[in-house]
Each structure stands twice: as C-alpha cells, then as structure tokens.
Structure 1
Amino acid sequence: MGKQGLNTVEQQSVAPTASKFPLSFWEATVASTVALVFAVGLLGVYLTMPDSDYSFLKLPRTLEDLQLLRDNLESYTSDYTAQVLVGYCVVYIFMQTFMIPGTVFMSLLAGALFGVFKGVALVVFTATAGASSCYFLSKLIGRPILSSLWPEKLKFFQTQVAKRRKGLLNYMLFLRLTPTLPNTFINFASPIVDVPYHIFFLATVIGLIPAAYVTVKAGLALGELQSVGDLYDFNSIATLFLIGVVSVTPTLISKNES
C-alpha cells in the first residue's frame, strides 16, 4: 500500500474520534431533562401573566434590547411582582447553568427594575443559585465537555487548585473578584478539579457582591450607557483587582512562611 493509501486509512480512523459527541446518551438525557425543567418553569410564569403582547420578551443581547425589555416590564413589575421575580430568577439561573452569555444584561435589568439594594440581593441570589446549579450539573456531565473544549485551561485550573489547597477559599475569592478566569468556566470546572462545594459557595456569595453592585447601580442609569464597556472604567476594575489581591494575600504569606 502506498503512502497516499496509508494517509487515507489514517484519516478515516481519526475522523470519527474528532467529531465524536462528548456526551454519552445518559449524560445528554440529564442535560435535556434539566433544560426541560427550566422550560416548564418559564411556561408556568407565562401562563399566570395577563393576556398581552409579549413579543418584547427575549434574552437581551444589546443595550437596545435591554431598554425595550425594561420599558415593557416596568408596567408589570408593580402589579405582578411575584411573576416577574420568578421569571427573572428562572431565566438567570438557566443562563448560568448552561453557560449562556448575557447575564450582565440581566444584572443591569435588576437595577433598572428593583433599585440598588434589592437588585444586588436578587443578582447575588440568582447568580449563586445558577453557579450552584452549573456546579452540580457539571459533576454529572462536565468532565468530557471540559476535556474536549478547554483541556489546557482545565489543566491550568487543576494545577492552581492543587497548589493552593490550604488557602483555597482565598484563591477562589480572588478568581471571583478578578477576570483571571471566566466565571462560567469556574462554575463548570470547579467540581472537576475537586473544589469542595462549601468553599465554592462561600467564594461565590462573597466574591460576586462587588461586581454585582457596580452592574446593578449602572442599571439605574440604563439610558445613559453607550456600551457594556462603560460599566467597568479604570477605577472599577482597579478596585476589584485590589480587593482580589487582598483576598489572596493571606494565602501567599502562609505559603512563603512554610
């Protein structure tokens, strides 16, 4: 057999592996079941709302989408507060669970509809619930997905967690407060690299408060924002980094002393 024939055989043997779906049938069933539960929850909220035109209801992808959603939901929030809150929570948790981008728009919406203090409480609650949901879903189906999509990033995270096992809470706080790793990746990868849930939970609740405050407060002046980049000016980013450095300092000190 010539070299060309050997290459053909090698390509045929490699192709199925490269295109193989990372999830088994059972894992795909679990993910589909979780998505169905969220869909049923949203349907229940929709059915309890008054008859109206809800063409404005969609996941916001731009500030224009968000302003339209805010303008329409304001008229429902006072009379149908429970439905709006439940709908908001289900959507936010769903987006966090399945790593769907755009939760920053949902945080802005919380500020626009509920004000700073209620908005921050709502965002921290839903973000923590969504992160926890993602954590436990990943515990069931996450390893093949992460190994397929982000093998190098997963290896880096695993190495860092192993090195900082004694000060893991401080390290996880640092990650939550700074853009070292995306929050969605942290949510999905944490159970795979053996971050205990109680540490994951505490770091999430505490670490998300500063960024949630910045975003929710910006939602009060939604009409003045020109882009999402306006949320995080130099002072905001520097403050978050400073808090993050302070949170990880005890770990660095204890490591040097040992």
Structure 2
Amino acid sequence: MNTKKMLITLAGIMGIGLFFWFDLQRFLTLEALKANRQALMDYYAAHRVATVAGFMAVYIVQTTLSLPGAAVLSLASGAIFGSIMGTVYANIAATLGATLAFLVARYLLRDAVLNKFGGKLEGINKELENRGFNYLLFLRLVPVFPFFLINLAAGLTRLPLRTFFFGTMVGIIPGGFVYVNAGASLATIESLSGIASPRVVGSFALLGLFALIPALYSKFKDRTRG
C-alpha cells in the first residue's frame, strides 16, 4: 500500500475510533432527536444553507465510514426539512456516502475486506458482476443484506461506478422515504423497529422482485443456451 492510500486508511480508522471513543452515537438516537428537534428546526429557520450542508456532511461521513445512525439521520431529515426535501437531501447524502465507501473498498481495502468477508460476499459478487444494475436494485430495495455490506461487496467487483451510483440512488428512494416521512411526524414514533412494518417490508420485497425479473430472465437465457 502506497503512502497516500495508507494515510487515507489511517484517517478513516481514526475517524471510526474517535466516533466510538467520544460515544458520538448517543447523539444519533431517537431519544436525542426528539429532545433536540425544536432546537434543530430553530437553527434551520435561521441558517438554512448551513443546516442542509451540515446535515449532508454528517450523513455522508456516517455512510462512508459505515457508522451506526443512518435510520436516525433519515428521521432527522424528515423532522427538519419535511418529507419531500428531506428525502431529497437524505438520498443525495446516502448515495454519495455509499459511493465513497464503494471507492474505498475498491481502491484501498480490497485485500482486508476479502479476508474478512470474502466467503459471505462471493455470491453477491458474482451476481453484481453478471447482472449489474437490476441485481443491485434488488439488493437496495429488499432489506436482506446490510447497507454497508452491499457497498463493500460492490466495490470488490467490476461493477461500473456509474451503475453503482444510479442503482443506489434509485434503489434507496422507497426505504428512505418511509423513514423520512416518519420523521416528519416524529412525535408519533415510539421505536425505530416500528417504522418498517411487515406490510412495508413486504412491499419492498415485491418491488425488488420486479426489479430482479430482467436479471432472472437473462440468467434463464444463459442456461438455456448452455
């Protein structure tokens, strides 16, 4: 690993270490969000651009470093910015963060990630390489694999960056909207687990299956030809 890659890797490790050392996760809880919602909204009313920029920066760093707190950040986006603009800001930030994580996995951490998750990622890698956009869309729509793991897995394949970017951006819209829209009615939320009901998860699964149809058809054609 050359010096530049080593410095970037060390910076990332230091960022993760500081997050847990200072227990910053305590600010990314449902209780903390409820307690600070009014202060955040007041700050947004006085400093709109700074609030949006600060929120997106935090979300991008959280996603890039695969830190906990994405659900609460999505709720915060809805609570502060409303359902529509909150979804836009959260989607852009999550997509950029995921793309940075993808690039980190591809160019900095390939060997380390393969050593740690290689066995679990083998099936995902093969499908992402062969089916591309549709399979990635399926993975984003159906909550089967953790968000961060998909970012790492995709970075270890030959999946084009553009395909990853747009597949992620489109695929996370439904799930993101559910959490952001819930955040717009923050007072009614008792727990994070209650947001994604079985009916909502089932709807995502159905969307994912529709997204997967072209990939399944292509796979079927390959087998019949073989």
Q: TM-score range by the shorter chain?
A: 0.7 to 0.9
Query: TM-score w.r.t. structure 1 length?
Result: 0.76
**1:125 equivalenced with 2:92 (yes/no):** yes
CA distance, structure 1, for counterparts of residue 192 and residue 169 of structure 2: 23
Paired position in structure 2 for 1:153: 120
CA distance, structure 2, for counterparts of residue 59 and residue 200 of structure 1: 31
**1:30 equivalenced with 2:22 (yes/no):** no
Unaligned 5+ residue runs, structure 1?
Answer: 1-22, 38-56
Measured after TM superposition, the shift of residue 143 of structure 1 is: 1.2
Q: 1:244 pairs with 197, 208, 212, which one?
A: 208
Counterpart AA for 1:249: I
Measured after TM superposition, the shift of residue 189 of structure 1 is: 2.2
Measured after TM superposition, the shift of residue 188 of structure 1 is: 1.9
> What SS does the corresponding residue of 1:78 show, helix, strand or coil?
helix
Unaligned 5+ residue runs, structure 2?
Answer: 16-23
Query: CA 1:208 to 1:224, structure 2 compared with 1: closer, same or farther past 3 Å?
Result: same
Work out whether residues 93 and 129 of structure 1, in 8 Å CA contact, stay in contact via their aligned partners in 2. Answer: yes
* CA offset digits 1:107-146 (Å, max 9, x no partner): 0000000111101101111011111111122222121331
Work out whether residues 28 and 73 of structure 2, in 8 Å CA contact, stay in contact via their aligned partners in 1. Answer: no
* CA offset digits 1:185-229 (Å, max 9, x no partner): 111221212211111011111101100110111001112111101
Measured after TM superposition, the shift of residue 69 of structure 1 is: 2.9
Query: CA RMSD, aligned part only?
Result: 2.2
CA distance, structure 1, for counterparts of residue 4 and residue 112 of structure 2: 14
> What SS does the corresponding residue of 1:248 show, helix, strand or coil?
helix
> What SS does the corresponding residue of 1:226 show, helix, strand or coil?
coil
CA distance, structure 2, for counterparts of residue 66 and residue 173 of structure 1: 30
Counterpart AA for 2:176: A
Percent of residue pairs identical: 28
Q: 1:115 pairs with 82, 86, 106, which one?
A: 82
CA distance, structure 2, for counterparts of residue 25 and residue 160 of structure 1: 33
CA distance, structure 1, for counterparts of residue 59 and residue 30 of structure 2: 17
Query: TM-score w.r.t. structure 2 length?
Result: 0.86
Work out whether residues 108 and 219 of structure 1, in 8 Å CA contact, stay in contact via their aligned partners in 2. Answer: yes
Q: 2:64 pairs with 86, 93, 97, which one?
A: 97
Paired position in structure 2 for 1:200: 164
CA distance, structure 2, for counterparts of residue 251 and residue 190 of structure 1: 16
CA distance, structure 1, for counterparts of residue 111 and residue 4 of structure 2: 13
CA distance, structure 2, for counterparts of residue 197 and residue 189 of structure 1: 13
Work out whether residues 60 and 105 of structure 1, in 8 Å CA contact, stay in contact via their aligned partners in 2. Answer: no
Work out whether residues 146 and 154 of structure 1, in 8 Å CA contact, stay in contact via their aligned partners in 2. Answer: no
